[in-house]
Structure 1
Amino acid sequence: MKKRGKSKAQISLEFLIVVGFAFLLTIPLVIIFYKQSENINIEVTASQLDKVVSEIRDAADEVYYLGSPSKKTVTVYLPKGVQSISVTANKIVFVVDSPSGDYELVKWSAANLTGSIQTYHGIHHVRVEAFDTYVSITD
């Protein structure tokens, strides 16, 4: 009878060792998955912002070339992480927060630009309007 109890204890111990080993292998996989998903989120945000700035710049160039009193409304989605937006001279500058530090996303326009866009995340209806000497961009 004693032999049988030792066998059950050995099986239990082996089972615990196998489960512990599987758990130890799972932890690095979870960490790798988390890091990769974080990197993908950063890339998606950067891509969305690049598209947003390009759409606004393209609308500004379009109304500039059409001349006064051209107007256009662009509907864009701003993701989280935009700290500030400046529209001055002939450039649009987005300052974006990321885990690796802040960076600037700059797009140049053929037109002299003025205006402001709010930085809250979500849907924005950006109005782009051409005047005699400049293009106004407002949210």
Structure 2
Amino acid sequence: MAIGIYYLRFAESLLLLIPVVLISSIFLVPGLAMLINRIKRVKMRKLLMNRGRKITAKTVSVEMNQRYSVNGVHPYYIIAEKDGEKYYSDNIWFNPQYVPDEVKVVIDQDNHKNHAIDLTWLKTDKKMVTEKFRIVLFD
């Protein structure tokens, strides 16, 4: 008799576990997808920097990325062009004061859509950037 009651309680606890697993998977699947996407982008960037072809492209403009924001702050990006092809930089979280007329671009020889603009020339004042976000976060 005691074994039957224990088995029934164990089965009930398993039934209660099913909704918890289903609800947590709703958050787990998109989180894993974002993590895998980020890892693939980082690997592609490293491969591109090691094996890509370096070119010099003319800077066209610096624009604000209106499609993306964090705490109401929109990042900037640089648009460069060479031989009719446009190249876009990663997000820059402050307005760059000085942008040279030409920037270095690393491109994949097989697929020109895989590219990266070299932003090592950009001097970042990390204190300025973090204080800007601190004001937005704690106002």
Normalising by the residue count of structure 1, what TM-score does the alignment of the two structures yield? Answer: 0.34
Bigger fraction of residues in strand: 1
Larger radius of gyration: 1
Normalising by the residue count of structure 2, what TM-score does the alignment of the two structures yield? Answer: 0.34
- Highest RCO, 1 vs 2 (Cα 8 Å, sep ≥ 6): 1
